[in-house]
Amino acid sequence: MSQPVIAIGSAVLFAFTLLIILHELIHAAAFLLRGTGKVQFGAIWSKFIFYAGVDQTVIDYPTFRFVALAPFWVVKAVCVLGALFFWSSPLAYFFIGLMCIHSLFCAGDLAMLAFYKRHPDKEIYNYDDLGQRKTFFYFRKTDHVGHGNSQ
């Protein structure tokens, strides 16, 4: 078996074991950096979904964006640097493969961010109820004073 194939296979093995844990720990570190409270971890095994969250805490968009994108950017940076450092070695395939696989892992985070982007005119807050394993999004109500037919 060729070294690049072994490197990519190793990336797959690493991604589906340790990288899942590291991804969620990066989310946790981002939550802690933003001072959001006690981070809890969980999994929905039937859907192969893993999460780090702060139970019953209102999260604003800047915090949500920071937490959601933290693993994407940290792992991407490590993988790009690793691939560049080992460019002339089969180990570069490990980092490139890992970067690609991890980008797929970030799909849920990016999908949740897309909800905010679909409503740029609204102030949106996120609320996790980890007991129910649900995430809620709330829009801030706006005051419509002065609108309508006034004379």
Residues 17-59 have pLDDT tens digits of: 999 999 999 999 999 999 998 999 999 899 998 999 999 999 9
Residue 50 parent element (H or E): strand 49-53
Give dist(CA 100, CA 104) in Å, integer.
Answer: 7
CA distances from 1 to 5, 10, 91, 101 (A): 7, 13, 15, 21
pLDDT tens sequence across 67-116: 999 999 999 999 999 999 999 999 999 999 999 999 999 999 999 999 89
Confidence (pLDDT) at 146: 52
Residue 125 parent element (H or E): strand 124-129
